[in-house]
């Protein structure tokens, strides 16, 4: 969830996880949910044709992590679905969890009206959630596309994100 102004519910999860794991300052990435069961074969499907090329292109930036491979598939076998909605929300986009192998991303009106740079970084961010990452700890914002607020203007996984994927998969 890339929020514009208000804190997301994921922050609570981060705080709880931090309390449960000793020495949590030794890393920054945080897991949101379990890994996708077929990390080297992750079908993605965007149902909004006007945006599918852009969304799939930036989703596949995660293929810079050798542990995962995302490819465009048909809807029936896709494990990560996406769509663009004209609905207004408090956020640019939200990733919904229906199971480790069933995630759905909705990009809202604020995303549509944002700059291309913000759109692209938000795409990478949301697919990071879909792969199982939560927001990073804030002190590592400059090393992660999974920062909760603000942007690095780098639309690809950064060092903290790659470490998180490596640990998860
Ligand atoms: Zn988020």
CATH of the domain at 14: 3.40.390.10
Residue 120 belongs to domain spanning: 2-168
* Centre of ligand 1 from the C-alpha of residue 4, in Å: 10
* Centre of ligand 1 from the C-alpha of residue 130, in Å: 10
Return the sign of the alpha-carbon dihedral for residues 29, 137, 8, 22: positive
How far lies 51's CA from each of 77, 84, 119, 147, 150, in Å? 20, 8, 11, 24, 23
Task: Give residue 17's pLDDT.
Answer: 43
Q: What is the reported pTM?
A: 0.85
* Centre of ligand 1 from the C-alpha of residue 106, in Å: 12
Q: Domain count for the chain, please give it.
A: 1
* Centre of ligand 1 from the C-alpha of residue 48, in Å: 21
Task: Give residue 1's pLDDT.
Answer: 72
Q: What is the pLDDT along the chain (169 residues), one digit of tens a residue?
A: 766 543 344 444 444 444 344 334 446 789 998 899 999 999 999 999 999 999 999 999 999 999 999 999 999 999 999 999 999 998 999 999 999 999 999 999 999 999 999 999 999 999 999 999 999 999 999 999 999 999 999 999 999 999 999 999 9
* Centre of ligand 1 from the C-alpha of residue 75, in Å: 24
Task: Give residue 9's pLDDT.
Answer: 40
* Centre of ligand 1 from the C-alpha of residue 10, in Å: 8
- Parallel, antiparallel, or unpaired: how do β-strands 80-84 and 42-46 relate? parallel
* Centre of ligand 1 from the C-alpha of residue 133, in Å: 9
- Parallel, antiparallel, or unpaired: how do β-strands 80-84 and 70-72 relate? unpaired
């Amino acid at each position: 969830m890339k929020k514009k102004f208000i804190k997301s519910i994921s922050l609570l999860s981060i705080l709880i996880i931090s309390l449960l794991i000793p020495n949590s300052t030794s890393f920054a990435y945080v897991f949101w949910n379990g890994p996708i069961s077929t990390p080297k074969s992750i079908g993605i499907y965007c149902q909004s044709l006007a945006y599918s090329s852009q969304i799939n292109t930036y989703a596949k930036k995660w293929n810079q992590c050798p542990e995962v491979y995302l490819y465009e598939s048909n809807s029936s076998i896709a494990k990560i679905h996406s769509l663009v909605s004209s609905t207004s929300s408090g956020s640019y986009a939200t990733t919904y969890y229906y199971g480790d192998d069933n995630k759905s991303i909705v990009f809202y009106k604020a995303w549509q009206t944002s700059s291309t740079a913000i759109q692209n970084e938000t795409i990478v961010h949301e697919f990071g959630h879909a792969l199982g990452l939560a927001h990073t700890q804030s002190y590592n914002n400059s090393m992660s596309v999974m920062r909760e607020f603000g942007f690095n203007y780098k639309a690809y996984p950064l060092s903290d994100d790659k470490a998180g994927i490596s640990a998860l998969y």
